[in-house]
Structure 1
Amino acid sequence: MCGIVGMITHQPFSNKELLRALKRLEYRGYDSVGYATMEGTLRKSVGEINAFLESVPEQATMAAISHTRWATHGGVTNENAHPHASCGNGFFLVHNGIIENHESLRENLESHTFQSETDSEVIAHFIEQKVIEGKSIKEAIEDFMSVAKGTYAILLLPAGERVLYAAKKDSPLVLGILPEGFMVSSDIYAFSDRSQKAVFFEDYEMALITAQEVQFFKNGIPVE
């Protein structure tokens, strides 16, 4: 099982604050850890969260995603750790689940450079390709959801933008409502010490999350 934690706020928070929330999901098991910020920082490593926390320099941000990985596709390496980046580092993505048709999806992405052996990186490049073809990130994620076979909880963070995109099918994902913004996680325990206000994603739902509001969609249609 993997752990996902993303955070977006209207005031700066520390990357180490994000990782401490991720640490609360250690019980799920993992072999590597990583995070990315809206400023374009991407750090990941094989090993324990405690050692990772001590090794990374403190950084303030207002939107970031993080992940603990339990290897399924590909070995335990820094390259296979999450987050994964699009070719131009235009966005970062974390994924929990298994994409059963990742090989067939990958066949249509020959122009993209893959850095890992994971099924998860295929999602990043699939979305990137759709954006290259002129679609919005929201539309690209919806296209992925329409063809993906398997399970997924996804968080996507565009570099340079204070916005998160989230989507889910057969893998848990929950939105935490904080005084300073929002947290998205695979488990409510990541933020249960900070807030008891939560919204659980339903299958085939995606969300566009800013520091001020959340818009849910299902099959491209806004959900009230």
Structure 2
Amino acid sequence: MGFRPSKTKQGKTMTLDASQIRAARALLDWTIEDLAKITGLSKDSIKNVERGHTQPRINTRIVIEEAFEKAGIEFLPGSGVRKKNNLITTLTGEYANRQLLDDVYATLVARENACVYITGVKETQSIDSVDYEYLEKHIQRLLKANIKEKLIVEEGDSTFIAPSYSYRWIAEQYFENVPIQVYGDKIAFVDWGPPEQIVIIQNKGFAMAMQKLLDFAWQNCAVPKGL
């Protein structure tokens, strides 16, 4: 079933149809439950949309489309769907770090044994950028989804937001305060600015190579004293 084209408040024409939603889920190997968790919609709502039983509201279409686009799906004219390759995304401004955290969650929530690798970070800067309450909520949703974090911070830094067992210390001479996050098939580089800017590269090979490097480093760095 094709949905009637309509426009958002920003004037964007929405033509997403039921077959594209099903195809996008298949490309990402997402279940209806996965899509419901990521979008905040009910499973029944998504089932009805996919089966063409209901004409979804504009906001519902926007939420679904944005969830897929953040996961690297591109919707094409004529009900086409494809995965984007070597996608480079730039986030800028005061909400850039929140957008990054949301993308980390959306990318990993449907994956088994998911882990985000983080290096070059100082949590005091994270708190200044995002605020402690939002970081806490992010950590809790990761834990609820069984998404692990492995963080490498400068030796002596004991400002921990994630569970303390997630952290490892690296010697000062090897630490550079340029945060890098690796999650799924993505690598994010953070420039604190101003203005704050984040560059995300989506490439499975690049991400896998960096994951192996950071996992090796994390396993061989020091466990913070007192843990």
TM-score in terms of structure 2 length: 0.30
Greater relative contact order: 1 or 2 (C-alpha under 8 angstroms, separation 6 or more)?
A: 1
- Between structure 1 and structure 2, the one with the greater Rg is 2
Structure number with the higher strand fraction is: 1
